[in-house]
Amino acid sequence: MAQTVHSTTPATVTEGQVDVELRQVVKLFNDEPAVQGLDLSIRRGEFFSILGPSGCGKTTTLRLIAGFEIPTAGEVRIQGVNMSRIPAHRRPVNTVFQSYALFDHMTVRDNIAFGLKIKRLPSNQVRDRVLEALRLVRMEGFADRLPNQLSGGQKQRVALARALVNRPAVMLLDEPLGALDLKLRKQMQVELSTLHRQLGITFIMVTHDQEEALSLSDRIAVMNAGQIDQIGTPSDIYDRPNTPFVADFIGDTNLLNGTLEGGDGDTMQVVTPSGLKVQVLRSQAMALGPAPCPVVLSVRPEKIRLGTDYPLADNCYHGQISHVMYLGTHGHCGVRLASGETLTVLQANRGKGLWAIDTPVYVYWAAADARLLSPDPG
């Protein structure tokens, strides 16, 4: 997984520290809401990702910031100025698209210079800024090639250079690595992270790739049905999801519906419809209101352990291996419990081989490894 150095940002941000702000933004298409009452503040210099499934409104949100769409209601503010009715070419932003959008008949050099020439900059400034942009993306030796003479990764670098040469205050990235194969995608993630650190400008990326968002971002907004379910750091989003949707969308998880009941000491008990009793931390349970109440329990597959001997653990259940998938670095196991539920378990590959189907096993985890959530509305 590509890694970036996540910047430390203050909990309270003044208007001068905010590059992009959306205030109660609504966007309707044929009277159907694509974005509903969106409030969002993106800090100057941070790498911010908007993550969500297809049709959730993330690309519409990026297009509203870029100026390719006009909000039906609300304000889009960039560096403190209301840009809601300002056309795209007059906004201090540039967009990099998944499709690269390069001019096939122009050389790399001319593609990068195109925006500067439209602005009628002096030729010596155009030359110097194009060379600077080529150096940033390490494409100096390809300046005279045409796009059809480049690989996918090289085309993406040219697209980045063409956006950066205009020196935008905000860089918008619309699924920028989606057209690349897996290995090249990983390499470009590292390069994108390095480029962001070097430039220090605000990056806003739209993606449906959870791993990409987790590895690159300072903060992430998870969108669902035109609204934001949660904004937080990658560790907040993954380890402390606020809703079942976020828990299920970010990585893999086991979700169990149940009723929160009483308990002893530091723990309380969740009882599922099948009668499975799960211990959870009282500190989590107290935030959801008095028991009994309906809840959803989330347990990440990597938090669950497997064994053939009965362990001492807060939560321990007997079952059988129902399916196994070999993933190289990990084994992906399904365990069918005696109560009827099936849990997904992720185990690191330590060279000991995979479990056989129907093997009797115990699954177990600590009370602290479960996340307690309120049910999603509806």
Q: What is the DSSP letter of 45?
A: T
pLDDT tens, residue by residue, 120-131: 888 999 999 999
Asked if pLDDT for residue 285 goes beyond 90, the answer is: no
Q: Name 85's Cβ contacts closer than 8 Å, sequence gap at least 6.
A: 70
Q: State in Å, rounded, how far the first CA of the chain is from the last one.
A: 35
Output the six-digit token pair for 327: 């993933």
Asked if pLDDT for residue 143 goes beyond 60, the answer is: yes
Query: Residue 263 to residues 102, 260, 267, 313: CA-CA distances in angstroms?
Result: 62, 9, 6, 16
CB atoms inside a 10 Å sphere around CB 128:
12
Tell me the C-alpha distance between 103 and 162, whole Å.
11
Tell me the C-alpha distance between 366 and 47, whole Å.
34
pLDDT, residue 378, reads 57
pLDDT, residue 299, reads 96
Mean residue pLDDT across the chain: 89
Output the six-digit token pair for 128: 């110097």
Q: Return the SS3 of 334.
A: strand
330-337 and 32-43 as β-strands: parallel, antiparallel, unpaired? unpaired
219-224 and 47-51 as β-strands: parallel, antiparallel, unpaired? parallel
Return the minimum-mean-pLDDT range out of 112-116, 174-178, 271-275, 294-298.
Answer: 174-178
In contact, 204 and 20? CB cutoff 8 Å? yes
Return the minimum-mean-pLDDT range out of 4-18, 21-35, 165-179.
Answer: 4-18
pLDDT band at 16 (very low <50, low <70, confident <90, very high): low
pLDDT band at 7 (very low <50, low <70, confident <90, very high): very low
Domain 15-244 grouped into CATH 3.30.70.260: no
Query: Residue 336 to residues 316, 319, 328, 362: CA-CA distances in angstroms?
Result: 13, 5, 23, 10
Q: Which CATH architecture has domain 252-373?
A: Beta Barrel (2.40)
Region 67-85: mean pLDDT is 96
Instruction: Say yes or no: do domains 15-244 and 252-373 share a fold.
Output: no
**69, 72, 77, 83 alpha-carbon torsion, rounded to 10°:** 60
- In 61-136 the beta strands, taken as DSSP E runs, fall at 73-78, 81-82, 93-97
pLDDT band at 232 (very low <50, low <70, confident <90, very high): very high
pLDDT band at 101 (very low <50, low <70, confident <90, very high): confident
pLDDT tens, residue by residue, 300-342: 999 999 999 888 888 999 999 999 998 888 889 999 999 999 9
pLDDT tens, residue by residue, 197-230: 988 999 999 998 898 999 999 999 999 999 999 9
Region 23-29: mean pLDDT is 96
Output the six-digit token pair for 206: 């739209």
Output the six-digit token pair for 56: 């959730």
Tell me the C-alpha distance between 323 and 121, whole Å.
63
Asked if pLDDT for residue 85 goes beyond 80, the answer is: yes
pLDDT, residue 263, reads 75
pLDDT band at 4 (very low <50, low <70, confident <90, very high): very low
Asked if pLDDT for residue 14 goes beyond 60, the answer is: no
* Percent residues over pLDDT 90 in the chain: 60
In contact, 23 and 75? CB cutoff 8 Å? yes
CA 87 to chain centroid: 28
Q: Where are the domains of the chain?
A: 15-244, 252-373
Query: Helix, strand, coil proportions of the chain in percent (round to 5)?
Result: 30, 35, 35
| Burial of 41 per CB tally in 10 Å (0-12, 13-18, 19+) | middle
